[in-house]
Amino acid sequence: MLRHKFRSGFPSLLLFLISLCQLAIRSVIYKNKIYSEILFSNDIISTIISAVFVLLVLVVKLNPGVIIGINSTVLYLTVPILLTLGSSIILVVTITIIGFCVYSITREIVNLGLPIYDNSKLRAEHIINISIVLFFCAFFCVKAIGILVTIKNINELSIEQITSFADLAIVILWMLYLVISIISINNRLKTLIGIMCSGTVLNVSLVLFFIVDSIHNATLFKYIDCMIIVCMSLFFIIPLYRLLRNSTSKIRASPSGHSA
C-alpha cells in the first residue's frame, strides 16, 4: 500500500517542489525574465494543484482511474516547465517527473483494478463519453495548432503558445486512453475516468488561473471566459460522477489493493 501511494504521488510531490522553487528563485529557474513574469500565475496554480494531489494520494484510497487522471494532469503541468527552464538540474527533475508519471499510469492500466460491468448498459454511455472526448480533442488540437503556427522564435514563447504545447500533449494522452478503452473492456472505466478527471482538474485550474492572474496583474477578471470554462467543465464533471458511481465498491484482488 505504501509503495503504491509513493509511486502514485511521487510525480505530484516533485512538481510541488519544483513549483515552489520557481516561485522562490525565479531568476535561476527560467531561461529569461520574460518567462519569469508571464508564468508567475501558472506557477501558483501548479503549486496549489500538486499540493492537493499529494494530500489526496496520501490520505484517500483513490480509484485507479483517478490516479491516471492525476498523473495525466501532472504531465500537462510539467510541459511549461520543460519549455522554459534554464537549469540542468530542473531538467533532470522534470524528466524524472515525466518518467514516474508514465510508469504510474502504465501500472494502473496494466493492473485490472476495476471489474467489468454490464456491457449492454455501458455501451451507450461509453459512446457518449467517447464523443465528448473526441469533440474536445479536436477543439483543443485545432486551437493549439492555430496558435503554434504563429511561433517565430522557439526561445521567445508567449503564455498562449506554451499552453498550446501542453494542450497537444494532453490531447495525445486522451486519444491513447480512448484507444485503450475501445480495445480493452477491462480498462474501459479506468481510462475514461482518467480522461474525465484530468479534464475536470484542468478546467478548475484554468478558472483559478483567471482569478490569480487578474489579481497579480491588477486587470479585470475575465467573467465571460470564466463562465465558458465552467460550462465546458460540466461535460467532464457529469460523466466523471457517473463513471465513479458505476464503479462498484469492491475491486478484484490486485497487487495495488486500492479501493474504488
Q: Would residue 255 count as lying in a domain?
A: no
Lowest pLDDT segment from 84-88, 95-99, 102-106, 118-122: 118-122
| Residue 242 neighbours by CB under 8 Å, 6+ apart | 125
Q: How far is CA 29 from the centre of its chain?
A: 22
Residue 252 lies in a domain: no
Task: Judge whether residue 251 has pLDDT over 90.
Answer: no
Q: What are the tens digits of pLDDT across the range 226-235? A: 999 999 999 9
Closest CA to 49 of 77, 24, 26: 77
230 burial via Cβ count (<10 Å: 0-12, 13-18, 19+): middle
* pLDDT range class, residue 114, cuts 50, 70, 90: low
Whether 62 is in a domain gets the answer: yes
The percentage of residues in the chain with a pLDDT greater than 70, rounded to a whole number, is 89
Q: Based on the structure, what is the number of domains in the chain?
A: 1
Across the chain, mean pLDDT equals: 84
pLDDT tens track for 159-187 = 899 999 999 999 999 999 999 888 877 77
**Domain housing 32:** 2-246
Tell me if 170 is assigned to some domain. yes
Residue 254 lies in a domain: no
Residue 259 included in any domain: no
Contact 93, 81 (CB under 8 A): no
Q: Is residue 206 part of a domain?
A: yes
Q: Looking at the domain assignment, is residue 260 inside a domain?
A: no
Q: Model confidence over 138-148: pLDDT tens digits?
A: 999 999 999 99
Report whether pLDDT(115) > 80.
no
Nine-digit cell at 174? 486522451
